[in-house]
Amino acid sequence: MAKTLDQLIGEGVAGRRVLVRSDLNVPLDGSTITDDGRIRASVPTIKALADAGARVVVVAHLGRPKGEPEARYSLAPVAARLGELLGRDVAFATDTVGESARQTVAGLVDGGVALLENVRFNAGETSKDDVERKAFAAQLAGLADAFVSDGFGVVHRKQASVYDVAELLPHAMGTLVAAELDVMTRLTENPERPYAVVLGGSKVSDKLGVIDNLLGKADTLLIGGGMVFTFLAAQGHQVGKSLLEEDQIATCQGYLTRAAEAGVEIVLPTDIVVDTAFPSGEREPAPRVVAADAIPADALGLDIGPASGETFAAALQGARTVFWNGPMGVFEVPAFADGTRAVAQALTEVTAAGGLSVVGGGDSAAAVRTLGFADDAFGHISTGGGASLEYLEGKVLPGITVLESDKVAG
């Protein structure tokens, strides 16, 4: 079992430097944070350590820089917001393991918090070369006396600040990672039934492992988003200009057959909101509703239709456990947001009735906030879309398994 944050604090952290791997990968519009959900989710662990007198050194990534600094991916705006949420100053180092980081960490007092610059500005963080990655991890470990893993969104990655640092320092699991794992366990081990899974997003290929694994666990599987068109094609329907993965049609046919044999209900849309072009600033949307089995050749599907929204909501009514990953349409455009809104509203009603509703991170989390839903209207909003999916696929998460080992390199 991994050591808990409470156990680490109970051993005494006052005056000790504790490196916390958080997930602060938030969306930015220039330097403006458009959704601070991941920062807010990271606060409890950081605050608990600071209140216990630790000198907290936070490390995180933002975006996908290519192993070198890029101004648009700087964590400077995040440092400011983190300070506001903590109610205390957060020192910001302009590098990760260089002179600024060393001086910033050396200047911390008991209860102080520092944020290092984007860890992915360093090639060693994501290197596939074990020697290069471990060398960078050693530099990070040199800034601290203990390590706390609290970035659930990255625990499926074997990266320096997630995996290798834990092999070099005494380590513990942060409260966010612990809470996420508790919810994921409830979704996979004896979930309360009826158990429904809602999957959307653009591609079937992104969800193959989840569908494959959950066909034996869920009672109902609802499919929307861009991935639905490959399922419709698998039923023999034309999908016009809609997103289609032709190489996955046979796979979807297999899923439909397996579901029927296993008694799992797969719910597909019966109507679709289409347009003749993908939304852009150059033209006003021209949405129209068509039958799912009669999509015109010049149209592409951009949302599930109103009747399907009602069907999906009805299918979720009475469910005791619901996992949702992936929007039903292009929710950022109001004309194509109603399907996603219908699913979100249905999940809030599951929560109100005492069931467990889980919004599986990424675009789904952004969608519910964009559409005006409060976080506490759902049982849990995951901070890690990819990690959630891989857990539900049954995959091993390197950032978790390393925490379960007491072995620390000498």
Q: Is 64 annotated as a binding residue?
A: yes
Q: Is 118 annotated as a binding residue?
A: no
366's CB contacts (< 8 A; 6+ apart) are 27, 35
Q: Which of 186, 203, 258, 320 is catalytic?
A: 203
Phi, psi of 84 (to 5 degrees): -60, -45
Q: Pull the structure tokens for residue 377.
A: 């209207």
Q: Which of 309, 218, 232, 204 is nearest to 265 (CA)?
A: 218
Q: Is 120 annotated as a binding residue?
A: yes
Please say if 15 is a catalytic residue: no
Q: Is 362 annotated as a binding residue?
A: yes
Q: Which of 202, 198, 194, 225 is nearest to 211 (CA)?
A: 198
Q: Is 130 annotated as a binding residue?
A: no
Q: What 3-state DSSP class applies to 194?
A: coil
Please say if 394 is a catalytic residue: no
Burial 331-370 (b: 16+ CB within 10 A, else e): bebebbbbbbbbbbbbbbbbbeeebbbbbbbbbbbbbbbb
Q: Which of 3, 21, 38, 55 is catalytic?
A: 38
Q: Is 180 annotated as a binding residue?
A: no
Q: Pull the structure tokens for residue 10.
A: 């109970």
Please say if 407 is a catalytic residue: no
Q: Is 207 annotated as a binding residue?
A: yes
Which residues does residue 148 pair with via DSSP β-bridges, in sequence order? 20, 172
Q: What span, in angstroms and rounded, lies between the C-alpha atoms of 81 and 130?
A: 34
Q: What span, in angstroms and rounded, lies between the C-alpha atoms of 300 and 91?
A: 49
Please say if 362 is a catalytic residue: yes
Q: Is 11 annotated as a binding residue?
A: no
Q: Is 363 annotated as a binding residue?
A: yes
Categorise residue 53: left if φ over 0, alpha if ψ from -120 to 50, beta otherwise: left
Q: Is 171 annotated as a binding residue?
A: no
Q: Is 174 annotated as a binding residue?
A: no
Q: Which of 174, 329, 386, 399 is catalytic?
A: 386
Q: Is 316 annotated as a binding residue?
A: no
Q: Is 145 annotated as a binding residue?
A: no
Q: Which of 326, 362, 384, 385 is catalytic?
A: 362
Residues counted in the chain: 410
Question: How many other CB atoms sit within 10 Å of the CB of residue 390?
Answer: 19
Q: Is 25 annotated as a binding residue?
A: yes
Q: Is 100 annotated as a binding residue?
A: no
Q: What span, in angstroms and rounded, lies between the C-alpha atoms of 191 and 200?
A: 21
Q: What 3-state DSSP class applies to 221?
A: strand
- Give the start-end residues of each E strand in 276-386: 288-291, 300-304, 321-325, 356-359, 380-381
Binding-site residue positions for ATP: 207, 301, 332, 361-364
Q: Report the catalytic residues.
A: 38, 203, 362, 386
Binding-site residue positions: 23-25, 38, 61-64, 120, 157, 207, 301, 332, 361-364
Binding-site residue positions for substrate: 23-25, 38, 61-64, 120, 157
